[in-house]
Amino acid sequence: MKSQAVVTAGLPEVSCTAVRLFAAYSRRYMRRRFHAMRIPRNGQPPRGMNRPLVIYLNHASWWDPLVCLYLSQKWFPERTSFAPIDALSLRQYRFFKHLGIYGIEQHSTCGAMTFLRTTQAILESKRNVVWLTPQGRFKDVRERPLRLQRGIGALAVQTEEVEFLPLAVEYAFWTEPRPEILVSFGEAVIPSEEPRRSADRWTEFFSSALEDAQDELAARSCRRDPAEWLVIDKGASGVSATYDAWRWLRARVSGAEFAREHQPEKRA
C-alpha cells in the first residue's frame, strides 16, 4: 500500500507501517518457537477470488492471530485485513487498534449488532478481508461436534455477495523438539450462489464445512508424510546450540554429513 494508513469513516484504523512492523516481528517470533509452517498441497486458498472475503477458522490457541497475520501477508497482500476480538482484550492490547482489530462486546445484543454493522461496512469493499474465530473462545481441535456462534450465519444472510472461506489450524509435534504449524483452506462459498438459508442454517453449514476441513487436516497430520505438504515457512531445528555444535564437530571429524533436524525430510 502506498498510504501510511487506511482510515475510512466508520471503519477500524489500519496503519500500514504498524502492520508491516508487527508482521516482521511475528514471523521472527514464530520461527524461534516452531519447526515449520506447512500446508497440504491441495489446501491452498482458491485462485481468482475477487469479492469481499471472510476467512473463518477454528480457535486452537493463542498463536492464531499471528498465524493469520502471516497468511494474510503471504496470500492476500493486496487486501486490507480486519478482525474482531473481545472488547476487554482490545483494551488490554491497545496496539491492536492500529492493525485493523475492532472490539466487540461478547454475549450481548448490542455487541452482536455492532459486530454485524462494522463487519458489513468492512465487506462493502472487495479489497477487504475479515478473519473470524466464530467458536468464540479457545477450543481443542478434537472437540466434536464443532459449534460456531450464530453471528457468522447472520452475517451470511446480510452479505450475500461475500466469499466465505474455511481455514483449519492445528499445532502438532512430529519428530522435532519444536511443533509444526499446520494450516489448510477449505472450499469457498458465496451465499448468493447457494440455496437460501436462515442464519441458524448458515451457521450449521459453516460449522460442518470447517469441521470437514479440520478432519482432513488431522488425518494428514497423523500420517506425517512430508510429501503431502508444502513448507511455507521454516523455523528452528535441532535441540540446542551447544549440542548441535558438538554434533557438527563430530560429523566433520568422521566425514559424515551433518543434519540439524532429528529426522531429515526428503524433498518432494
Q: Could you report the per-residue pLDDT of 10-37, keeping only the tens digit for each?
A: 799 999 999 999 999 999 999 999 999 9
CB 114 within 8 A of CB 134: no
| Residue 180: partners with Cβ closer than 8 Å, 6 or more residues away | 34, 35, 36, 37, 38, 171, 172, 173, 174, 221
Question: Is the predicted pLDDT of residue 268 greater than 50, yes or no?
Answer: no
Strand partners, 230: 39
Give CA–CA dist 38/16, Å, rounded: 27
Q: What is the mean pLDDT of residues 102-125?
A: 94
Lowest mean pLDDT among 70-84, 158-172, 239-253: 239-253
Helix (H, G, I), strand (E, B) or coil at 57: strand
In 24-87, DSSP assigns E strands to 36-40, 53-57, 80-86
Contact assessment for residue 132 and residue 55, using Cβ atoms and an 8 Å cutoff: yes
Distances (CA, A) of 172 to 17, 59, 145, 233: 32, 15, 21, 15
pTM: 0.86
Distance between CA atoms of 122 and 81, rounded to whole angstroms?
9
- Candidates 198, 206, 212; CA nearest to 144 is 212
Domains and CATH numbers, the chain: 8-254 (3.40.1130.10)
Phi, psi of 229 (to 5 degrees): -120, 155
200-235 pLDDT tens trace: 999 999 999 999 999 999 999 999 998 999 999 999
Give Cβ neighbours of residue 255 (< 8 Å, ≥ 6 apart): none
First to last CA, the chain: 35
Is residue 157 within 8 Å of 198, Cβ to Cβ?
yes
